Structure 1
Amino acid sequence: MSQLGDGFVFVIVVILLLWWLVHRFNRWLHAPPSLRLRRLAQDGPVDADESVVWLETCGYEVLSGKHRIPLAVAVDDGPMQATRLYFDYLVQKDDCYYLVKIDRARKPIEWTPSGLRDRLLAFTLMFPECEGIVIADPKGQTIHTVRFKVEDE
């Protein structure tokens, strides 16, 4: 008799677990695209430095700052090795989100299509909800917005 009861409890637990998994998958599937960015906006603290003040005077609302995205890379069958992608701020302007990279003298931006692709395309692929990537130079008082579009050949 106890085996019948154990089997019944096991079936109930499996059904509840499957229902929970389907429910979580459905919530993830139907979550709005900007939900990930809203979570990201709550993560990084914003220090009121000259870059933040300057971006705000240019009409951007600085939501968060100094983000580090951990990645792992493996070559062939080798071990996974850690690396990171960095961007400086997440901003919003006119209900559109933008990632911000501050242009620094020690690692200047190469303003060619291939240079921009090599340096910034990973951010666009990781955050397709963003309207583009803002390259800001507070010292030179310039802002450029970079957008990528996949073209049909």
Structure 2
Amino acid sequence: MERFGDWLLMLVAAGFMIGWVLWRLRRWLHDPPGAKLRGLARAGGIEVEDNDAVALLEEHGYEVLSGKHRIPLGVVLDDGPPQPTRLYFDYLASKEDKYYLVKLERARQPTDWTASGLRERLLVYQLLFPDCDGIVVANPNERQVRKVRFQVEDGET
């Protein structure tokens, strides 16, 4: 009788595990595009000291949803231990039902406005958040807002 109870317990546990895996798979398959971005929008608050940047974005028709996001990353070099690092962006904004990551231009890190400079600095954000419609670079000092979008070309040279 003891073996029957063990088998019954194993079957119940396996049933729960299979059910949980199927539930997660179904949830992953049916998440609408932008669900990750909407989660970020609920996660971060807007700091009071950034009123100039927020006002600038709102003047250009963007609604600032959240601010100051940090994305933790790990870097492994030559099979060594993972080294922690972070990637930052300043705001998540929306305009006409489209989501944009916002980077503020800083005097100590001026933006290189060439195609290769933009690729080196901003492409990582587009790759991390493919549901995003672009990256907005705002310069509150010059009252300038520029939108950057990347497109994959057909590879023929």
Q: TM-score, normalised by structure 2?
A: 0.94
State the partner residue of 2:34: 34
Corresponding residue for residue 4 of structure 1: 4
Structure 1 runs (4+) deviating above 6 angstroms are: none
1:20 and 1:96 map into 2 onto residues whose CA distance is 33
Secondary structure of the equivalent of 2:154?
coil
Does 2:83 correspond to 1:44? no
Measure the CA separation in 1 of the matches of 2:139 and 2:17: 52
Query: Once structures 1 and 2 are overlaid, which stretch shifts more, 43-52 or 110-119?
Result: 43-52
Q: Distance in 2 between matches of 1:86 and 1:132?
A: 16
- Identity across the alignment (%): 53
Deviates more, 1:96-105 or 1:49-58: 49-58
The separation in 1 between residues aligned to 2:20 and 2:103, in whole angstroms, is 40
Q: Which runs of 5+ in 1 are unaligned?
A: none
TM-score when normalising by structure 1: 0.96
Q: CA deviation at 1:2?
A: 1.6
Unaligned runs of 5+ in 2: none
- The amino acid of 1:21's aligned partner reads V
3-state secondary structure, aligned to 1:10 = helix
The equivalent of 1:116 in structure 2 is 118
2:56 is aligned to 54
Deviation larger for 45-54 or 97-106: 45-54
Match of 1:100 in 2: 102
Q: Number of aligned pairs?
A: 153
Q: Deviations over 1:24-67 (max 9, x none)?
A: 12101210121111110011111242111121122110000011
Q: Which has the higher contact order (CA 8 A, sep 6+)?
A: 2
Per-residue CA deviations over 1:84-124 (Å, capped at 9, x if unaligned) read: 11110000001110000111111000111111001000000
CA distance in 1 between partners of 2:143 and 2:66 (Å) = 21
